[in-house]
A = this chain, B = another copy of it.
Amino acid sequence: MRKFTSRNLLKNNKLKVTPQRTLLLDIISKYGHIDTDSIVTEITSTLPSVSVATVYKNLSTLIENGIVKEVNFPGKKKMYELNINKHIHLVCSKCGNIRDIDMSESLLKEKFRDIIDDEIDDFNINFYYTCKSCKKS
């Protein structure tokens, strides 16, 4: 069982390990959920010459390889997250804060077995609610 370093994620998928890619993965991992704008800002603060084209191309290949996942919150910009552990999102309708809740495919399948008996390849689940600190104010 290997460690989930950015480097290993790439190697395990037979992708070339470049500074741009490992940094991209490090950043996505650090932020949890991040949009392309912030990725470019963050990445160029360490490697100033990285171009947006490289960021977009790498996001595509990482998604194709199942390492990264696109996440959408309606009305917000597309975000990206690591596709390592299956989870759902609890999003505060007021402040936008996102909490990840681990959720296995098998548990989900059980919850929805009244509705879907097919095999589930993947899922997107977001719940919108008002978080504790936003309820106070």
Contacts and interface: CB of A to CB of B under 8 A. Distances in A.
Contact of A126 (B74, B124, B129, B131): B124
A127 B129 CA distance: 21
Contacts of A53: none
Contacts of A112: 111, 127
Contacts of A111: 111-112
Contacts of A69: 74
B125 A129 contact: no
A34 to B, nearest CB: 15
A120 interface: yes
A88 B74 CA distance: 15
Contact of A122 (B103, B121, B125, B128): B128
Given A70-B74, A111-B111, A129 B124 contact: no
Given A70-B75, A72-B74, A123 B126 contact: yes
Interface of A: 63, 69-75, 88, 90, 93, 101, 103, 111-112, 115-116, 118-131
Given A74-B124, A124-B126, 16 more contacts: A72-B74, A72-B124, A88-B115, A93-B121, A101-B115, A112-B127, A116-B129, A118-B129, A118-B130, A119-B129, A121-B128, A121-B129, A121-B130, A122-B127, A123-B127, A124-B124
